[in-house]
Amino acid sequence: MAQLLHPDFKAGITHAEATAADKKTHDLLMEQQDALKAESWDYAIALSIQMRENQLRVYKPGSSPIGGTWNALGSIYKQAGRLQEAEDAVEKGLAIYAAVCDYNEMSMARETLAAIKEAQGQFDEARKVRLEGKDRKEISCTSDTCPWTSVPFRMENGGLSKMFALEELKQCAACKAAFYCSKRCQKHDWKTRHKPLCQKHTGAV
């Protein structure tokens, strides 16, 4: 009996083909973890592109897994300081999520894009991107170590991160472009990421 595959897969793909492709993606991801730890950005980027080619053999080009790979590539470009390429990749991921109405992934991808905008010094854009989730109460916390977007939380919560209404979040008083679910998240992001960007933007250095 033919097993029904998730609709993200292309028509006519067999269960064996899908499983083999997912295993290969997993292996490439593991290899990429090592490359990221070693800060071998070019190699990590090459692995992302290889991952997408592998996924495209079985997944529809407009499916959420492909969107995820675009986003992950955007994050790596960002870490590598290649901000324009980072933005282009995340925009591709966002377009896919929008088309398939994957609001949770969209919320997290918007946060990635907003962080890229901050790194480019475009704080008005960063604020605008983050607030795109306002009407649906789907704003992600700005901290990249927020417990509500962490992998363990998402694994327990059907793959979904927690999203917030604007009133639930504290905004950075200086730039008003960053939004936090807790004091802990705000403090941590200030210490590890936001401070130099925010001070440069507001001229507080």
The footprint of Zn ion (CB under 5 A) covers 141, 143, 146, 172, 174-175, 178, 181, 185, 198
What CA–CA distance (Å, rounded) separates 122 from 201? 9
> Which of 102, 111 has the CB closer to Zn ion?
111
**Cβ partners under 8 Å of residue 60, min gap 6:** 8, 9, 10, 66
* Minimum distance, C-beta of residue 197 to Zn ion, in the bound complex (Å): 8
Which tokens in the block code for residue 89?
């990749």
* Minimum distance, C-beta of residue 172 to Zn ion, in the bound complex (Å): 3
> Which of 13, 174 has the CB closer to Zn ion?
174
> Which of 45, 181 has the CB closer to Zn ion?
181
What CA–CA distance (Å, rounded) separates 170 from 130? 13
What CA–CA distance (Å, rounded) separates 138 from 49? 29
> Which of 21, 198 has the CB closer to Zn ion?
198
* Minimum distance, C-beta of residue 3 to Zn ion, in the bound complex (Å): 39
* Minimum distance, C-beta of residue 34 to Zn ion, in the bound complex (Å): 28
Residue with tokens 């088309």: 99
Closest among 179, 170, 172, 180 to 199, alpha carbons compared: 172
* Minimum distance, C-beta of residue 140 to Zn ion, in the bound complex (Å): 8
> Which of 45, 178 has the CB closer to Zn ion?
178
Which tokens in the block code for residue 96?
């896919």
